[in-house]
Amino acid sequence: MSEQEPIIVLENVCKYFGEFKALSDVNLTVQKGERIVVCGPSGSGKSTMIRCINRLEEHDSGRIVVGGKELTSEVKDIDAVRREVGMVFQSFNLFPHLKVLGNLTLALKLVRKMPKPEARETAMRYLERVHIPEQADKYPSQLSGGQQQRVAIARALCMNPDVMLFDEPTSALDPEMISEVLDVMVELAEEGMTMICVTHEMGFARSVANNIVFMDHGEIVEANPPEEFFDNPKHERTKLFLSQIIGH
Amino acid sequence: MNFDIGLVFESIPKMLVGLGLTLELLILSSFIGLVLAVITLLMRISGRWFLVAPAVTYIYIFRGTPILVQIFVIYFGFPQFEFVRESVFWPFLREPFWCCILALSLNAGAYVSEILRGGMLGVDKGILEAASALGISKTQSFIYITSPIAIRLSLPAYSNDIISMTKATALASTVTLLDMTGVARTIVAQTFAPYEIFLSVAIIYMIMAWMIQKGFGMAEKRMSRYLKPAAG
Amino acid sequence: MSELVGWADDYFWGAMVVLRVFAVSLVLAVVIGLIGSAMKLSGSRVAQTIANAYTVVFRGTPELLVLLIVYFGAAVTLTAIGQSFDASVKFIDIPPFWAGAFAIALIVGAYMTETFRGAFLGVDPGHVEAARALGLSKFQTFVYVRIPQMWRLALPNFGNHMLSLMKDTALISVIGVEEIVFVAKIATPVTLKPFTMYFIVALIYLCITTVITLAVMAMEKYANKHLVSSR
């Protein structure tokens, strides 16, 4: 895969939930190392779009290419894609019956077929990277929301993905815990991780994103670098959204 | 009308003899039933119609008919067929004990498979998505994530089912078996003292039910270590 | 096949007996369940202890045993009472139909007590407060707010209890009630087809339980119609 080839391509992607058109001719290109923030009102299709990228949702028409592989209904393709794409969920989705370490090593053992000691070592390394190595032997229920989300990030990072997808990672957190998670995400960005992040955290967007994508009613309305986006929004809907979100 | 305590104490040793048979029936049927339940469950969730259909039919029939009738169909009914009488299973199927085991196991299999399925449905979809997102295959996810959580969720209902099974073993007395209830009925027929005898047997059953409940309670507690403590 | 047709009549009337026992037991069980749950929720130590003892005993004892105790016990008691009045009395018993119906009601009533108790506790206290704040009396609140909500919560389990009750009725054949199992028993030596005879019994039960299950599903739909289902 050459440097010029984009790591993710969405071409004319449409997705329906029954009668409801969730994604309408979505076109998006993501280069390696790019950080994309996706924002928009609820129901605009942001989550649906990134969930299509790792095929948690199936798109109905159009093309999605991830890491050079096109997403089809072939199962082995999907598993291969998912290994290279990490996802962090709004509700963390940690495995409740496994300790923190177990959460991180499960996929390493099952998918990467890593032997136990190596898996453990890898897991501890990533736990340190998210600054909570001392929580390794605890169960998720014993951790705070911010800690749980950081474990979730570490869990995704353990698989050494080429791209990280974040689906509103801080929306379910109490305000005082948001920054510990955003800090980790900023560090990741600085290290060069390719990221697509659905979020309402505009401060984060402004400082980290290369490109901000605004979606509404299943369409990409506007996509611009932060300075353009915040200071010079082109569309009415974008202006409206920004005034609502930044207003208070 | 007097209550003959002496009779109660005299009869307890005899009833404990019946206890052996009761426990045999319970343990054997529970075990075979569990195996059947897992097989049935896997068939039911397989998605292939030729596996789902028999599983669903089996569950429907055995949950929709009384155990007593199931026992009678097997014990009284099977001998009607020559192929049964000539088969290699005949030495078993002519014995009331094995007929009861068969009926109780089939019954348990149907109920427990639905209980396990209920446990499966209780697993948070988000967790399964996270597993998919990590590239974990559906089968691996079922073994390492769904199963442990589903088993814990199934425990209360499963313990209730075991208690029901314990009570169902009493039906063995209707086909001449001398389990606790069978012994009790024999003694009552001789002594005309239904209250004393049946009440003491009832007490033994209640103690068994209580012990089973306590046992499962402890197992559940152990399995729930990782859950959030209830206090806010 | 012709000899089987001859028994169709007996099966029919036997099934009627089963349905009658079912109906009587069900009504009694619901009454017992409501009383039992009221006692458990009452706050009175005495009432709670009695109710707790009741549910523990009747949920922990085999159904067959309860049936036998009620039937034979009642006979012994009544006979003893009768003899104390008139020494020439040989034997008094209650008709097995009633012994059976009552015994089954006691058993299922214990389960209903627990279900109703849980369902009453599940009624949002906020709704009750709102009703009282609007001026509804305790009784009106009970009838118009608590019972409809409790009923919706109790329905799934109530449906299961109805099915258990239905299947428990098979036990009354053991104490001599002439219902469908009994028919199979007497038909077997005549037709020499025990499997067929008992299979028909199973089939009849299966039909009845299917009807009950469908009825409960319909009731659940109706009870939940005011709730919006989320995607």
Which string of b and e fits C104-137 if b means at least 16 CB within 10 Å?
bbbbbbbbbbbbbbebbeebeeeebeebeeeebe
Residue of B123, B128, B134, B139 best to disrupt the A interface, most CBs of A under 10 A: B134
Confidence band (pLDDT; 50, 70, 90) for A113?
very high
Q: How far apart are CA C209 and CA B66, in angstroms?
A: 10
Each residue of A150-195: pLDDT tens digit?
999 999 999 999 999 999 999 999 999 999 999 999 999 999 999 9
Query: For strand A8-17 and strand A20-30, is the pairing parallel, antiparallel, or unpaired?
Result: antiparallel
Residue of B nearest to A76 (CA): B137
Tell me which residues of chain B, numbers 19 to 38, contact chain C at a CB-CB cutoff of 8 Å. Answer: none
**Could you list the pLDDT tens digit for every one of the 232 residues in chain B?**
456 777 777 777 888 889 999 999 999 999 999 999 999 999 999 989 999 999 999 999 999 999 999 999 999 998 888 888 888 888 888 889 999 999 999 999 999 999 999 999 999 999 999 999 999 988 999 999 999 999 999 998 899 899 999 999 999 999 999 999 999 998 888 888 888 888 889 989 999 999 999 999 899 888 888 887 654 3
**Averaged over A44-48, what is the pLDDT?**
91
Residue A86 to chain B, least CA–CA distance (Å): 7
Share of chain C above pLDDT 70, in %: 96
The two three-digit tokens of residue A193, written as one number: 């991780």
Strand boundaries in A100-199, DSSP class E: 163-167, 194-198
DSSP B74: I
Band (A1; pLDDT cuts 50, 70, 90): very low
Task: Please write the tens of the pLDDT for every residue from A196-236.
Answer: 999 988 889 998 999 999 999 999 988 989 988 888 888 88
Smallest CA–CA separation between C69 and chain B, in Å?
A: 6
d(CA A87, CA A209): 18
Domains annotated on chain B, with CATH? 5-223 (1.10.3720.10)
Chain B residues 134-193 with a CB less than 8 Å from chain C: 163, 166-171, 173-174, 181, 184-185, 188, 192-193
Cα atoms in the Cβ-side hemisphere of radius 13 Å centred on B200: 26
Distance, C-alpha C25 to centroid of its chain: 4
Residue C195 has pLDDT above 80, yes or no: yes
CATH superfamily of C2-224: MetI-like (1.10.3720.10)
* Cβ-defined contact of A156 to B133 (cutoff 8 Å): yes
pLDDT of residue B190: 86
What is the predicted pLDDT for the residue at C79? 82
Angle at C216 between CA C214 and CA C222, to 5 degrees: 105
Per-residue pLDDT, A130: 94
- Interface predicted TM-score (ipTM) over 0.95: no
- pTM score of the predicted model: 0.85
Per-residue pLDDT tens digits for C131-182: 889 888 888 888 888 888 888 888 888 998 999 999 999 999 999 888 999 9
Min CA distance, B130 vs chain A (Å)? 6
CA angle C150, C156, C159 (to 5 degrees): 110
CA separation, residue C4 to residues C180, C184, C196 (Å): 14, 11, 9
Of A97, A107, A152, the CB nearest to B135: A107
CB A146 within 8 A of CB A173: yes
φ and ψ at residue A211, rounded to 5 degrees = -145, 135
pLDDT tens-digit readout, C108-135: 999 999 999 989 888 888 888 898 898 8
What does the pLDDT read at residue C230?
43
Confidence label for C51 from pLDDT (cuts 50, 70 and 90): very high
Of B106, B104, B77, B105, the C-alpha closest to B93 is B77
Check if the beta carbon of residue B180 is closer than 8 Å to that of residue B18: yes
